[in-house]
Amino acid sequence: MRMPFEFERERAYHRLVDLIFGQALEAGTPLSERKLAEQLGMGRMPVREALHQLEQEGVVEVKPARGTFVRRISPGDLAEIYRVREALECLAAELAATQGPTEALAACGARMRTMAKDPSAFTAVEIDDSGTEFHELLMLATGNAALMETVRLLRLRFRLAFHLPRYFSHENLYSTLADHIDILGAIEQRAPRAAGKLMRAHLRRGLDMRLALEAAAADRPSTQKNDAAKGITRGLESTK
């Protein structure tokens, strides 16, 4: 079936996301509108608009008189953001547990439990995406509009900190899946204190994992990074 039409700006945005989050464009990499437009096979205007959107999301940064770069997120940045996440998402877990799971959250939980029975039957991306969905549906389950909007803006502004690199180990992936299922269990049991406690432990493990992944990525040989860039670029070219 033919893929639905995407506006050029949206196409540019999604392709740049693939390059940046796929590690083809490393932190600190200068971004040239002209070169990116040539590589992606489109005009400079949609690339410029996509870069502006990514700047708003904290993924790229504009340095006066120097240019646009992939933003470099430091361990200190991660620690600060996760501290805020802990305050907000522990509250969310407690509120959701007070009311019980929504139908959508319960359905997400059923999918996660299916994955947990045979993780090898699912890709790493599918399992990671289920975790993202869990956190989003958990927020909706709170019924608290102010909290939902606060977390939405936090995710939008610091997207790099919420994104889990795709080179994580399956062992880490499975432990994260187990955490989500445990938190959901506390919500189903309507145990606010337990849900908040489990969420806190989950986020602290997540921060430790993320810091370790960032350190490992910095130590990866440049040949591996170049291979990743070539692979993603070939994938982008095949979608033109």
Give the separation between CA 119 and CA 90, rounded to whole angstroms.
27
- 148-166: per-residue pLDDT in tens? 999 998 887 787 777 655 5
Average pLDDT over residues 83-106: 97
Token pair for residue 228?
């990743």
More confident residue, 16 or 114: 114
- 218-231: per-residue pLDDT in tens? 665 544 444 444 44
Average pLDDT over residues 176-180: 96
Residue 233 reports pLDDT greater than 80 = no
Confidence category of residue 213, pLDDT binned at 50, 70, 90: confident
Residue 168 reports pLDDT greater than 80 = no
Q: Which long-range contacts (CB under 8 A, 24 or more apart) does 52-57 make?
A: 53/9, 53/13, 54/13, 54/16, 54/17, 54/20, 56/156, 56/157, 57/156, 57/157, 57/159
| Residue found under tokens 């540019």 | 12
Using DSSP, state whether 162 is helix, strand or coil. helix
Residue 190 reports pLDDT greater than 70 = yes
Helix (H) or strand (E) holding 108: helix 103-117
Nearest Cα residue to 36 out of 75, 8, 5, 4: 8
Residue 135 reports pLDDT greater than 90 = yes
- 20-72: per-residue pLDDT in tens? 876 677 778 899 999 999 988 888 999 999 999 888 888 888 888 889 988 88
Neighbour tally for 239: CB within 10 Å? 12
Nearest Cα residue to 187 out of 128, 150, 116, 134: 134
